Amino acid sequence: MSVNSLLLRNVYANVYVSRMKANYSEPKIYTGGISIDTWSKLTRAEQKEALSKDWYVYYSFRHPKTLKLKRQNPIKGGANRFKTKRERITFLKQLQRNLSLMLQAGFSPYEYQPELENNFFGVTNPVEKEKNLKVVRNDVQPIEDGCTTINEAFELGLKLKEQVLAETSYPKFKSKINQFKRWLLDNDFKLSDDVRRITKKNVITYLNYVLTRTSSRNRNNSRTDLNSLFQLWVDNELIKENFILEINTLKSKPKLNKTYTPEVQELLFEYMSEKSPILELYVRFIYYNLLRPIEVCRLRIKDVDVINKRLTYKAKNKLVRTMIIPDALVELLPDLKTKSPEHWLFTPNKIGGFWITSDSERRNYFTKEFKKVKDHFKLGREYGLYSFRHTSITNLYREFRKTMTPFETKSKLMLITGHKTMDALEMYLRDIDAELPEDYSQYLK
């Protein structure tokens, strides 16, 4: 049958059967979540991010049973092998045009149409025909109506989580989820498979794989992120149950930063004062105000009220927290009156300035700078920036205990450390061995 006959037959069918509804939507091009018209206005980083994602042609077709438009599997056709926007969009536009012509000619992803396929591709060799059809069908069969593909489920999960997770948390979550996605593809799954094909056994096998390659802690972190993803799928009715809740966490021993002895701490501050005064002041904020390294990185000039000795910052367990600035730290602060309130307090070259990068990157910079100090004193991995926070809290606890009861000590310490509950503080104090017993030699004689 000629293409003309197919066109006439399908025009009649479309008009007679569904006067007001087309059997398909016009194919469109997905370009990594950005508008191709604004490409020239994007930064290089934004362009690179867009090109790191899969670009494809997508469309919907009316399901023969439900008579509702059903989103079909994305068609890539090898477009993502091209590394530039120009090459990729040129290829996809041609693919879009060809698919549009096929749909107009009566192509349906739910039917086998040998006459249409032969006429359109101009070949009768089964091998060549199948090779060409891979571009249109994406080498998969249409999934069951009402299902969501693995690719769609993962994209939805990452998109929604990006809106709710903190800037520092999302990259770690995305990395863990993409590692699981790659493992699925390496183990006979396809992006076009129904997401419900993933079973509890598959996840357990993957977590065992992570355990054998890394550690129990990393395995537990992977389980936590997958649990969050699967619960999101349940909430959005992509799957029926979150079976990851039934998978146990393993015992793991976290590597805690050790506290510094008074002698080592004094040497560290003297060395930083001489070699890197900015780093020294950065560390003083951790030691005197008990801030976490990333919390110091979030400080702007406007957050430091020297006159009233108040510090406002974004804490781990609270959106905004205000605490006093101890006199010992106030004495070390330079004149901030001439600085712009919006400037970051700490930058690589000066106190108060612009620094266009993320919180994580700022933290990583100071972590690397302090590693140079650690290497000079040949300190091991168990010592780090967090060690100053542990050291300060330990010193405060032991000083308070000289004149106060344990309860009074912890109550006063909670106001300083920011722990929400007494239990949380007690667990923290046990972890860092803040309280030590008196000499018990006499009882062993």
- For residue 119, pLDDT over 70 is answered with no
What is the secondary structure of 306-337 as a DSSP string?
Answer: TTTTEEEE--SSSSSEEEE--HHHHTT----T
Q: Under a CB-based contact definition with an 8 Å cutoff, are residues 230 and 163 in contact?
A: no
Which pLDDT tens digit goes with each residue over 123-155? 444 444 444 544 444 434 444 445 789 999 999
Cα distances (angstroms) measured from residue 360 to each of 244, 315, 384: 29, 14, 16
The arithmetic mean of pLDDT across residues 437-442, rounded, is: 75
Burial code (b: 16+ CB inside 10 Å, e: under 16) for 385-412 equals bbbbbbbbbbbbbeebbeeeeeeebbee
Q: Which residue has the higher pLDDT, 312 or 77?
A: 312
Residue type (1 letter), 43: T
Q: Give start and end residues of each alpha helix (H) in 105-238.
A: 114-121, 126-137, 150-164, 170-186, 200-213, 216-235
pLDDT at residue 397, as a whole number: 92
Does this model's pTM top 0.85? My answer is no
Residue type, 399: E
Distance between CA atoms of residues 218 and 199, nearest Å: 21
**What is the pLDDT at residue 116?**
60
DSSP state of 385: T
Q: For residue 266, which amino acid is it? A: E
Q: pLDDT tens-digit profile of 372-415? A: 999 999 999 889 999 999 999 999 999 999 999 989 998 999 88
